[in-house]
Amino acid sequence: MQKKVAAVHDISGFGRCALTIALPVLSACGIHCCPVPSAVLSAHTGFKGVTFRDLTDDIDPFIENWASIGVRLDGIYSGYLGSARQARQVMRLKELCGGKKTSLVVDPVMGDNGKAYAIVGNREFFDSIKSLCSDADIITPNLTECALLLGMEPDAYFDDENHVTEYMKRLSDMGPKKVVVTGMERGSQLGVGFYDGEKESLGFIYHDRVPVSFPGTGDLFTSVLTGAVMGEGGRSLENAVTEAAHFVRDCALYTYEQKSPPIEGVQFEKLLYKLTEKVR
């Protein structure tokens, strides 16, 4: 049977991020992606003057309808959540439409580059995201989010393998079986650390940095990771992280070579065949 995975994310009409990445990527991985929009924006927030509509009030009846028509999910993948209530709704979705074998991947979107987003100052929101992470099978924080989850200041992390190993193990002790930390830097390279608490295995993957920053690469990374872990064959954490890191690098390099405006995000569309070929 084809796997069904709910993607709980916002959707931006312009600029590649969140659901406009998760939906095509998970589909390319052979998964039936079932979107649950947390908010609708005219464009991602890197642009000025964007419109924003919160969909919290729509999610509960959304979930109730799915339960009534018999939707059964193999996995749930959550990204940007705009309130504590939405974090609880993710768990409600798992309760009503999932089961013991339903995997939960959480990208705890709370900050970046040593700065927390304003909403993190809301204690209820922070506690709800932390609780959601504790119930997850896989979490994919960047270093800023890693620090926040561990009770540190958002810029108080150390970016080296020894410290990141300690962070990942401490996060795993909080509940999630597998932890992936993104946003590491080593000279001219970017890196990702991963830790599997069940197998007690860990590792790091690095690749050369593209000389431009693109929004949405974190969404792309976790989407590919989710597709690799939950898709046909269910690849190991190490293989899934490797595939995701290489795909993001390939897309960033291709976009840079095309001289596309960075604010529009990476051009992943023409490279989706690399994911589809793995499930043929």
Q: Residue 41 is inside which H or E element, if any?
A: strand 32-41
Residue 52: predicted pLDDT? 96
The answer to whether residue 280 scores a pLDDT higher than 70 is: no
Fold classification of 4-279 is UDP-N-acetylmuramoyl-L-alanine:D-glutamate ligase (3.40.1190)
pLDDT digits (tens, 9 = 90+) for 80-121: 999 999 999 999 999 999 998 999 999 999 999 999 999 999
Domain extent listing, the chain: 4-279
The answer to whether residue 246 scores a pLDDT higher than 90 is: yes
- Counting residues of the chain whose pLDDT is more than 70, the rounded percentage is 99
User: What are phi and psi for residue 10, nearest 5 degrees?
Assistant: -80, 165
Pairing status of strand 138-139 against strand 103-106 = parallel
pTM for the whole thing? 0.96
Residue 232: predicted pLDDT? 76
Residue 144: predicted pLDDT? 97
The band of 266, judged by pLDDT with boundaries at 50, 70 and 90, is very high
Strand arrangement, sheet containing 201-208: 52-54, 32-41, 4-12, 75-78, 103-106, 138-139, 178-186, 189-196, 201-208
Residue 231: predicted pLDDT? 83
Residue 235: predicted pLDDT? 87
Nearest to 262 by CA among 209, 212, 219: 212
The band of 234, judged by pLDDT with boundaries at 50, 70 and 90, is confident
